[in-house]
Structure 1
Amino acid sequence: MTTPIDRLREIMAQLRNPDGGCAWDIAQSFETIAPYTIEEAYEVADAIERGNLDDLRDELGDLLLQVVFHAQMAAEDGTFDFDDVATAICEKLVRRHPHVFSDGAARTPAEIKLVWDEIKAEERAKKPDGIIDDVPANLPSLVRAEKLQSRMARVGFDWPDTDGVLDKVSEELGELTEAVRAGEMTAAEAEFGDLLFTLVNHARHLGLDADAALRGTNARFATRVRHMEQAVKADGGRMDELDADAWERAWQRAKTAEQEETA
């Protein structure tokens, strides 16, 4: 009996088949598909944040397709196939969970996390790369900043407390302000990046996820804009006709409406 995953692999192979397949799928490569893979991962996260399990089921299917797509292209090159991908993750999970598959000792979540990090460090040590060389360059910028900082913190390159980070935030803000006032926009861009990087460091010291925090702000902003649009439309107005005072009133009404919805 054909399983759903086998059926998916068969469909993907047919789509990539030069004889009767889909011209678009055939034309793709790892590089052209990678942006879709990232996009699908974010759509999975979005479905989770919205608490929509029907959408989550569909988005997980779309993400699974990305894995199958990449595996099919690799199989065509003779590099690896889907079974190799599944085998590799199975071996990794068993290797990183000795408390389950080896000695059987019960540990707290904190102890398990420590063992996990130790095993990952051992795995990295077997590679000839530097400390940060395996941190993917195409991660979202806030995520990559946190990972770079965390990796360096493991070898002692870190602020001892949040006070030091806050002082650095003030310093970077001052340097950004000076660059802007001087009209040095190239320098301002670099200083702005330094400020963001330091803010991510501050979030890390506070135990916060900078990327999640910004996603939350984006979501709140989008919700308020929709409230504004509805209110302005209900009053017979148009968003592009509002003056500064009308914008402020609409924004405050949107904040109030949002607070009432979440109360």
Structure 2
Amino acid sequence: MPLERLVSIMQRLRDPKHGCEWDRQQSFETIAPYTIEEAYEVADAIARNDMDALADELGDLQLQVVFHAQMAAEAGHFALEDVIERICNKLERRHPHIFGGASTSPGWEEIKAAERAKSSDVSALAGVALALPALERAAKLQRRAARVGFDWPDASGPRAKIDEELAELDAESDHQRKLEELGDLLFATVNLARHLNIEPEAALREANSKFEKRFRAIEHVAGFQEMSLDEKEALWVDAKRVQADSSA
């Protein structure tokens, strides 16, 4: 089985005497950033509709699961089999209408909420991972709060909050306070996106993509670096128009 082969390879790489020095030195903390990076590379392959790259990136992501499980097994915490067993149990538990014989099923979030209720942390915000990208985590915190009635009734509330937070940012001179007010402004912007049924992470990725395409279109113009800002802005406007025409 391919998965068994991957587990065997990782065990050999982590072997205390004959393994790879780099792999032996790693810990959960040092590998975690690679795990996050690989998840983003999976998303990137999907966004580019590159199925060959997606197969590669999913393999890299699978390696991360095996790596963490191997380190856990070495420390006596759990093994890969436990990881697979837990996700199988979770999927069956959250789909009782498929696997449990129930005629109907409560919603996914209702089932998850019931699971969280068994935890010592009973907050509506329990379980929102700290390692999530900040925009995504902000949206998830807001959705959780909204489920218990802490939310604006419509988009006008967060839209007004953006103006309020922007004014507070402008009024600050202290750097730390500016950092806090800018964070509040970004949080309010995420709230507006949520009310408009827009994923803020997706919106920012789209903005990044547009900026990159337009900048790449103008940066190779002869003498670009020596141009004035007004001249560069004129090139930018032209690139923006061309991009809009091509997508029309």
* TM-score band w.r.t. shorter chain: over 0.9
Cα displacement (A) at 1:188: 1.4
- Percent identity between matched residues is 54
The answer on 1:121 being equivalent to 2:113 is: yes
Cα displacement (A) at 1:153: 1.3
Cα displacement (A) at 1:167: 1.6
Verify the 8 A CA contact 2:116 2:122 in the aligned structure 1: no
Structure 1 stretches of 5 or more lacking a match?
Answer: none
Take 2:16 and 2:10, find their aligned partners in 1: how far apart are those partners?
Answer: 12
Take 1:93 and 1:84, find their aligned partners in 2: how far apart are those partners?
Answer: 14
The answer on 1:144 being equivalent to 2:144 is: no
Q: Report the AA paired with residue 161 of structure 1.
A: D
SS of the residue corresponding to residue 160 of structure 1 reads coil
Cα displacement (A) at 1:41: 0.4
- Summarize the alignment of residues 48-67 of structure 1 with structure 2, pairs less than 5 Å apart: 48-67=46-65
SS of the residue corresponding to residue 42 of structure 1 reads helix
Cα displacement (A) at 1:148: 1.0
Q: Deviations over 1:142-176 (max 9, x none)?
A: 11111111111111111122112212111111111
Cα displacement (A) at 1:104: 5.6
Q: Deviations over 1:100-126 (max 9, x none)?
A: 112364x7xxxx6x6111110000000
- Summarize the alignment of residues 120-199 of structure 1 with structure 2, pairs less than 5 Å apart: 120-131=112-123, 132-179=125-172, 183-199=173-189
Q: Deviations over 1:65-124 (max 9, x none)?
A: 00010000001011111111111000000111112112364x7xxxx6x61111100000
Which segment is superposed worse, 162-171 or 48-57? Answer: 162-171
Give me the CA root mean square deviation. Answer: 1.5
Verify the 8 A CA contact 1:176 1:188 in the aligned structure 2: yes
Verify the 8 A CA contact 1:227 1:257 in the aligned structure 2: no
Verify the 8 A CA contact 1:15 1:25 in the aligned structure 2: yes
Q: Report the AA paired with residue 121 of structure 2.
A: D
TM norm structure 2: 0.94
Aligned to 1:98: 96
Take 2:242 and 2:21, find their aligned partners in 1: how far apart are those partners?
Answer: 49
Aligned to 1:248: 233
The answer on 1:203 being equivalent to 2:196 is: no
Take 1:259 and 1:49, find their aligned partners in 2: how far apart are those partners?
Answer: 20
Take 1:239 and 1:40, find their aligned partners in 2: how far apart are those partners?
Answer: 35
SS of the residue corresponding to residue 43 of structure 1 reads helix
Verify the 8 A CA contact 1:175 1:191 in the aligned structure 2: yes
Change (3 A) 1:153 1:17: same
Take 2:189 and 2:113, find their aligned partners in 1: how far apart are those partners?
Answer: 26
TM norm structure 1: 0.89
Q: Report the AA paired with residue 144 of structure 1.
A: R
SS of the residue corresponding to residue 45 of structure 2 reads helix
Take 1:229 and 1:169, find their aligned partners in 2: how far apart are those partners?
Answer: 33
Change (3 A) 1:238 1:16: farther
Instruction: State the 4+ residue runs in structure 1 displaced beyond 4 angstroms.
Output: none
Q: Report the AA paired with residue 225 of structure 2.
A: D
Structure 2 stretches of 5 or more lacking a match?
Answer: none
